[in-house]
Amino acid sequence: MHIPVEKSTQQLACAMHIKASSTDGNVEIVENLEHQLGMSAEWYDEYVHLCHGNLGTQECYDATTFFHSIEHTSKNRLQWLIMMPGVFHIQMATVNAIWRLHIKGEALCSNEGGTYKLFECLCPNNSVKLGTNLTYHMLNDGVQHLLRVHFSICWEEVIGEDLCGFAERRPAWDEIEELALKILNQHIGGKFFGAFRESPEVEHDMKHENQLLFN
């Protein structure tokens, strides 16, 4: 699908002395911007407003739209206002989810081949913080490192040779896509992962299953 390129128009807005950390403050900011831009009633049925902000703004947006859901018009229900979190905040939420799913909790500490054990190798002097108070930078750097290592191993297992040698022979793009599909089917927990969990206990490979889930 071809999306035409159009030059966007930026409108200057006056500064607002409004407390943005509260739900009412966020509503007041939106109403103030509407007034400054002189939006007409027809605008709300033809366009949407993309609002960029952090996770705090997302929480205020969710609360505001929930309490405005009883209003009669789409304008008053704020259906035209769409929240767009920044890439950094999405990454923060993703890293936090990995921490909660793969690291936090007493059961995960003793999980053989689990992410907690790998983080113990990466952060031997901060093992106490792993399950309780792991900093964002430590967690993000550790996740990025593990992902690079995991996928490097996956590539080498699939191609049967060193990645440097594979790159030097300049493979065709079709070959790369074919190998990537093999990695997806063999090394990432997908729709067939349930079959692993239903197999007898003696047949389980805990390390392999943990790696499938993390990838």
Query: Which pLDDT belongs to residue 79?
Result: 79
Q: How many residues does the chain have?
A: 215
Query: Which pLDDT belongs to residue 198?
Result: 66
Q: Which pTM value belongs to this model? A: 0.57
pLDDT along the chain (215 residues), means of 10: 78 84 82 83 79 80 84 81 83 83 70 73 72 77 84 84 84 87 76 64 64 66
Query: Which pLDDT belongs to residue 190?
Result: 65
Residue 198's Cα: distance from chain center in Å? 29
Residue 91's Cα: distance from chain center in Å? 5
> What span, in angstroms and rounded, lies between the C-alpha atoms of 44 and 67?
19
Q: Domain-by-domain residue ranges, the chain?
A: 23-85, 89-214
Q: Which residues contact 207 (CB under 8 A, 6 or more apart)?
A: 112, 113
